[in-house]
Amino acid sequence: MIKLVAGFDTRFKVFLAVMAVFTIGNSSDFFVILRAQNLGSSVFHIVLMLVLFNATYAAISLPAGKLSDRLGRRRVIAFGWGVYALAYLGFALATNLWQVWLLFACYGIYYGIVEGVARAFVADLVPAEKRGTAYGLYHGVVGLTLLPASLIAGWMWQAYSPAAPFFFGASLAALATIGMMVFIRE
């Protein structure tokens, strides 16, 4: 993989590194489901929370894409990661189920902002003839960092508390947001 990255612009390489930092704190979505259950939600309500998450995600995706066309992808991704950091901080601090409902909506906002825009940013950072390889590298980095992210989150949940992986994720999202704004130019 390192040899494949060598042929790309520094901005793309830095984006992959910043994405790796973010993703190490972005454990499996199953942890938000576990947190809802941990705070007393029924399975039925968790299903409805997931419907809310997906509806929010779908509603936000198009406006976020349009916004990234106007303001730039880097800013929109950084904002989305900021929303993620706040949502994960909320999951860490939540004590009531109404808060969890709100947090599932916020989590959907994060997804709607970042998922498509991050892929568009990859396209912006690399020449057209290298996009297939670039998408492979991007998804490879995300996939390789999601595994330890979930292992770390599970360990923190067991060793410390159900809130611990969310504090960790919020911290790395904040760090990645800063990295995105400081080290990557559009």
Summarised one tens digit per residue, pLDDT across range 156-178 is: 999 999 999 999 999 999 999 99
Ordered by where they begin, the domains of the chain are: 2-183 (1.20.1250.20)
pLDDT at 92: 98
What are 87-138's pLDDT values in tens digits? 999 999 999 999 999 999 999 999 999 999 999 999 999 999 999 999 999 9
- Other residues' Cβ atoms within 10 Å of the Cβ of residue 129: 7
pLDDT (mean) for 52-62? 98
pTM (predicted TM-score)? 0.94
